[in-house]
Every structure is written in structure tokens, then in C-alpha cells.
Amino acid sequence: MTAVGIIAEYNPFHNGHAYHLAQAKLLTGANTAVVVMSGNFVQRGTPAIFDKWQRTALALEGGADVVYELPFAFAVQPAHLFARGAIQLLADAGVDTIVFGAEHAQLDFLSLAKQAHTLLMNNAAFQSDYTQTYATVFNDVLAQATGARISEPNDLLGFAYATAVLELGLANKIQLLPIQRIGASYHQTKITDSQIASATALRSLMQQQVSIEEYGAFVSKKAANLLSQGQQTKDWSTAWYSLLQYKVLTSPVEELEQIYQLNDGLANRLKEQITRQTDSSYETFMTTFKSKRYTWSRLQRTLLYTLLNVQQQEMQTALAQPYLRLLGASKAGRLFIKQHRKDVSLPVINRVTSEDTTGILTLDYRAGKLYELMARQPVQQAMDTGRIPLFSE
């Protein structure tokens, strides 16, 4: 059996994702689609609107055959670390082609990655200019040398995937295949297509508390039912922000400085802004906390690390020990896993043990407990302990 790899968040799963899965199989001739999916928190540092089990069920319904969880240590990171973790997992799982959507599928992402690596490492501005974001400096350097700029979100991820393939020494093992993104753009908040709406637009629609019928053209019946009920967790800007305020106000700066990425004066800045703005809204706080040096997403991730008390060394340890956590599989997916079992070198987790929760799964277990705590309704099952993979036909 052959398999094609997909990297996703499915927040939520919609018709565009189903199209992507179908095209991935069609273009590669693979009979199995292996997905690496973010867990309960997505890349920008916010909780997924539905937990990883609900999103796995929707993915299996929509054409995925195997769903592995992208560990928290990689899932809630900037593009290069997000991509590195996902590529490593897919390669070890046994895929030989990774298909991803791109705004400009004609770009040779691998070639651009090869050029950019040398350019960036030898560019003084990239190493020392803190008045601009990583993406801005990178694009300035790349445009100067090649005439190309990468600004669209899926194109940026495509470049990150190509860079990860090179850095992991997988260029002869893994083929990258971009396919043209169709329908709504990634950040589009309004629905303009009759069948495909962006995940951003669907989340925006969910905030408006529309009826289940409003989702019918864009997602499955199961997904429409979930969307009509609203997001699974309490609102970040209210309930979660209150927890953050408590954490920061009761922690000395010296302790905050031990949190992952809360360095270079950010701990002091966070403490100062939270203390000054005890009665302000989350949006007001973020407007003053943000600077030219850091994107909103970068700071949002840092705030999540703060809530979870993720220590610097703890994150480095997690990044050094990736694993394959199976969330679900179809009949074809289970056959693929069985046939490739002997070729897998990473630790494989199907059922979480108490030893896992204090070892290799430390961060994911803690993140799962926080997600449970902030659920709008009591969760019926814990996120990790006592769970087994979802199986479908």
C-alpha cells in the first residue's frame, strides 16, 4: 500500500479539506491518506474550536485514513518548527509524498528553500534587525536575490515544509506536491463561494450563532451540527484572559523569565502591562503589548506557554523526542499501519499510560487538562487518559 501525507489543523474540517484529500490521492495514486493534525491547540496559540477527537472523527468521515496528533511542542510554534515536526512524523510513518495547498502552486518551493537557507544565514539584517518580523526580513532578502516574495499563509507553510525536508535530509525520500488552493482564501472572513468557505469564515459564522442550515453547503451534517452548537471552550478573550492575569500577577518576574520564549525583556513587559491594565479587555491589552518585533500570533503563543507554565528546558526536551500518537484510522489506514509497523522508528502511542503523562506526553497531557478545564460543558471523557484511537470503516 502507498500513502500520501497531509499536514492539517482542520479547525474545522470543511469541503475544501475533503477536496484536498481526494486530490492528494488522485494526483499521487495513493490508496491511503495519512494526516498529521494539531491537537487541542492550533499554531497561533488558541484552543481549537473542537477537541482533537471530534476533529479526528470529521477527518475520517471526510477521507482521511490515518490521523496522528502533531505534539503540542511542534503544533504551537512558528512555521519552521511546526513544519519540521510534521514532516518528521509523516516521513517516519511511511509516506513518500506530502501534498499541501498553496496560493501559488507553480512555485518551486524546494528550490526557493535551498536559495533562502544560505542567504538568510549570511544576512546580517536577519540576525540583528529586531524592528521587523521574521517573515518581513526573510522576504526582503529572498526578493533581492531571486525576485520572489512569499506572503500568502499556505505558500509560507509550503516553504517551511521544503526547508524542513532539506534540514532533515529527506530530499531523496520525500516528494513535495503543492496543489492550487481553490475557493475562499485562508484569511477570508466572508463566504463568497457556493461550496467552499475558509475555516476562518466558518469560525466567524459560528460566532454569529446561526442555524445549522447556514453551514449545510460547506461542511458535512456532523460538522454542521457541531458548528451550530458553538465552540467547545469558553471564550479566550474573557475566561482564558482572566487565568492569564492571575498567573502573571502572582508570579515574580524571575519565574516568568523561565517560561519558553518569554525572554529578551518580554517577561518584564508582560508583567508591567498586565499590572497596569487589570481592568482592561484582552484586545486592549494585546494592542499595547504588541510591538513591531513580534507578531500577534507569536505573542499569543507565548501567552499560552505562560498559562501552561512551559519551561524553556521542558520545551527543548519535548522538541527532541517526537512520537506518533494515533488518534484514528479507517480500515485501509489500519492495514497500512500494520504493513509499515516494522519501519517506524519513533515511539508509537495508542493508549496513554500514567508513565506517558509524566514523560513523553507531559506537555500534551497538561494542555489537554487545560482544554478540559475551559470547556463550556463538562467533557464526557478525558482528552488523553483512558482513550483509544477512533476506528472507522
In a domain, 123, yes or no: no
Highest mean pLDDT range out of 51-55, 124-128, 217-221, 275-279? 51-55
In a domain, 294, yes or no: yes
In a domain, 371, yes or no: no
Instruction: Answer whether residue 189 shows pLDDT above 80.
Output: no
Segment (H or E) for 177: strand 175-180
CB burial string 147-176: b at 16+ within 10 A, e below: ebebebbbbbbbbbbbbbbebeebeeebbb
Q: What is the pLDDT of residue 351?
A: 95
Last residue of a domain, one of 187, 203, 229: 229
Say whether 18 counts as a known binding-site residue: yes
In a domain, 135, yes or no: no
Same domain (yes/no): 27, 50: yes
Say whether 182 counts as a known binding-site residue: yes
In a domain, 112, yes or no: no
Bridge-partner residues for 176, per DSSP? 98
Say whether 371 counts as a known binding-site residue: no
- Mean pLDDT across the chain: 90
Same domain (yes/no): 312, 171: no
Average pLDDT over residues 20-42: 97
Same domain (yes/no): 201, 244: no
Same domain (yes/no): 307, 278: yes
Average pLDDT over residues 6-34: 96
Last residue of a domain, one of 229, 255, 270: 229
Say whether 117 counts as a known binding-site residue: no
In a domain, 283, yes or no: yes
Domains in the chain: how many in total? 2
How far is the CA of 205 from the CAs of 191, 212, 334, in angstroms? 9, 11, 36
Bridge-partner residues for 97, per DSSP? 4, 175
Average pLDDT over residues 37-47: 97
Say whether 134 counts as a known binding-site residue: no
One-letter amino acid for residue 134 of the chain: Y
Same domain (yes/no): 216, 284: no
Same domain (yes/no): 191, 281: no
One-letter amino acid for residue 188 of the chain: Q
CB neighbours of residue 188 within 10 Å: 16
Instruction: Answer whether residue 191 shows pLDDT above 60.
Output: no
Same domain (yes/no): 217, 240: no
% of the chain residues with pLDDT over 70: 91
Same domain (yes/no): 162, 311: no
Say whether 8 counts as a known binding-site residue: yes
Say whether 14 counts as a known binding-site residue: yes
Closest CA to 78 of 157, 178, 163: 157
Say whether 147 counts as a known binding-site residue: no
Say whether 80 counts as a known binding-site residue: no
Closest CA to 65 of 14, 96, 31, 93: 31
**For residue 202, what is its C-alpha cell?**
466558518
User: Helices 362-373 & 312-319, crossing angle to 10 degrees?
Assistant: 120
Same domain (yes/no): 285, 154: no
Instruction: Answer whether residue 124 shows pLDDT above 70.
Output: no
Say whether 268 counts as a known binding-site residue: no
One-letter amino acid for residue 157 of the chain: L
Say whether 130 counts as a known binding-site residue: no
Residues spanned by the domain of 309:
236-316
Q: How confident is the model at residue 156 (pLDDT cuts 50, 70, 90)?
A: confident
Helices (H), the chain: 15-28, 52-61, 72-75, 79-93, 109-121, 124-128, 134-146, 153-167, 199-207, 221-229, 241-249, 253-256, 266-276, 282-289, 296-308, 312-319, 331-340, 354-357, 362-373
Say whether 150 counts as a known binding-site residue: no
In a domain, 380, yes or no: no
Last residue of a domain, one of 296, 316, 336: 316
SS3 238: helix
Is the sign of the CA dihedral 276, 278, 282, 283 positive or negative? Answer: negative
CATH value at residue 194? 3.40.50.620
Q: Higher-confidence residue: 314 or 1?
A: 314
> Is the N-terminal amide bond of 12 cis, ω within 30° of 0?
yes
Q: What is the pLDDT of residue 34?
A: 98
In a domain, 26, yes or no: yes
Same domain (yes/no): 155, 295: no
Say whether 31 counts as a known binding-site residue: no
CB neighbour list of residue 291: distance below 8 Å, 6 or more residues apart: none
Q: How confident is the model at residue 1 (pLDDT cuts 50, 70, 90)?
A: confident
Same domain (yes/no): 225, 240: no
Same domain (yes/no): 307, 255: yes
pTM of the model: 0.93
How far is the CA of 384 from the CAs of 67, 89, 349, 389, in angstroms? 15, 19, 11, 10
* Cα-trace Rg, the chain: 21
